[in-house]
């Protein structure tokens, strides 16, 4: 009998904060769960975690308690109204933002223990290019890079791709363009993807034996329903199940769920 395939891991990252990464992660997890995927979200923003806040949950412990050996992982796992499980993390803890060999080893041991219970694991990584962010990106089978059409977001997204490509050989990224023009989101998303790919091809592709590619995976329009859901600390499916942004997130979940192979992987060395 062949061994059960391990859960597919997705790292949701962004070059800068404020692009909607955490909201997309939560609603994407709910969309995957609705498709029958046993889904776990790990709040991997170990210094400024807020997934529990967005979901209106009150954890009794955090990921830091597990990694320090104070609590077993089963005691902090939270079931959500979206049908997925959450591993919450703490906020305002500077020591958790520093990647140490002990932290890396503890995270990997924890994931190996949890994986048999899940089909998909989503890492809601912090913004930027800190060592903890890069660590979770390297643990993933697929990297989802969330951007907005703003020039600063694109500049920081390029910086993230550059570091992951140069240091760890990551050469494939799924792009999710958020806050696009609701009148023509597809055109807006395609322009962003093309612009980012042009910069990458110009400055990065000659440095690697494998070209660095951006795959446009999802386009989300600016949608006031997102602000309402955040204010009520609920998922879009609870507050506005017909929201245009939610329709797009469900399409993204379908594309991820039906993918036969990961988009790419990074070196874990």
Mean pLDDT of the 210-225 span = 96
Find the helix or strand (DSSP H, E) in which 40 lies: strand 39-44
pLDDT of residue 185 exceeding 90, the answer is: yes
Summarize the confidence of residues 256-265 as an average pLDDT: 66
262, pLDDT greater than 70: no
CATH architecture for the domain at 8-258: 3-Layer(aba) Sandwich (3.40)
CA distance 95 to 63: 13
Helix axes 21-34, 224-232, angle to 10 degrees: 90
Structural domain spans, the chain: 8-258
Whether 177 contacts 217, CB under 8 Å: no
Q: Over 60: is that where the pLDDT of 268 sits?
A: no
Strand order in the sheet with 172-180: 78-79, 85-87, 39-44, 120-127, 8-14, 142-147, 172-180, 213-221
- 156-178 residue pLDDT tens: 999 999 999 999 999 999 999 99
Q: Using an 8 Å Cβ cutoff, are 120 and 7 in contact?
A: yes
Q: Kindly report, residue by residue over 64-94, the tens digit of the pLDDT.
A: 999 889 999 999 999 999 999 999 998 766 5
Q: Is pTM beyond 0.85 here?
A: yes
| Long-range contacts (CB closer than 8 Å, 24 or more residues apart) made by 203-210 | 203/162, 204/161, 204/162, 204/165, 204/166, 207/165, 207/166, 208/165, 208/169, 208/171, 210/169, 210/171
The answer on pLDDT for 1 being more than 50 is no
Query: Beta-carbon neighbour count of residue 137 at 10 Å?
Result: 26
């Amino acid at each position: 009998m062949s061994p059960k395939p391990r859960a597919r891991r997705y790292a949701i990252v962004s070059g800068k904060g404020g692009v909607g990464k955490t909201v997309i992660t939560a609603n994407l997890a709910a969309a995957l769960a609705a498709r029958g995927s046993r889904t776990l979200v790990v709040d991997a923003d170990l210094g400024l975690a807020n997934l529990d806040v967005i979901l209106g949950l009150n954890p009794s412990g955090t990921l830091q308690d597990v990694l320090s050996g104070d609590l077993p992982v089963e005691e902090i796992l939270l079931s959500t109204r979206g049908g997925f499980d959450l591993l919450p993390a703490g906020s305002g803890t500077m020591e958790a933002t520093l990647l140490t060999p002990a932290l890396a080893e503890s995270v990997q041991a924890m994931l190996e223990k949890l994986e048999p219970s899940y089909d998909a694991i989503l890492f809601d990584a912090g913004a930027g290019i800190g060592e903890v962010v890069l660590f979770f990106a390297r643990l993933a089978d697929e990297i989802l890079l969330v951007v907005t059409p703003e020039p600063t977001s694109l500049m920081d997204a390029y910086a993230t791709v550059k570091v992951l490509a140069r240091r760890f050989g990551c050469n494939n990224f799924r792009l999710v363009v958020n806050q696009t023009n609701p009148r023509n989101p597809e055109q807006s998303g395609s322009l962003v993807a093309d612009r980012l790919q042009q910069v990458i091809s110009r400055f990065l592709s000659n440095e690697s034996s494998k070209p660095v590619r951006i795959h446009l995976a999802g386009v989300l329009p600016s949608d006031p329903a997102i602000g309402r859901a955040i204010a009520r600390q609920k998922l879009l499916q609870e507050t506005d199940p017909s929201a245009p942004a939610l329709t797009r997130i469900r399409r993204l979940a379908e594309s991820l769920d039906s993918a036969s192979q990961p988009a790419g992987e990074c070196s874990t060395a």
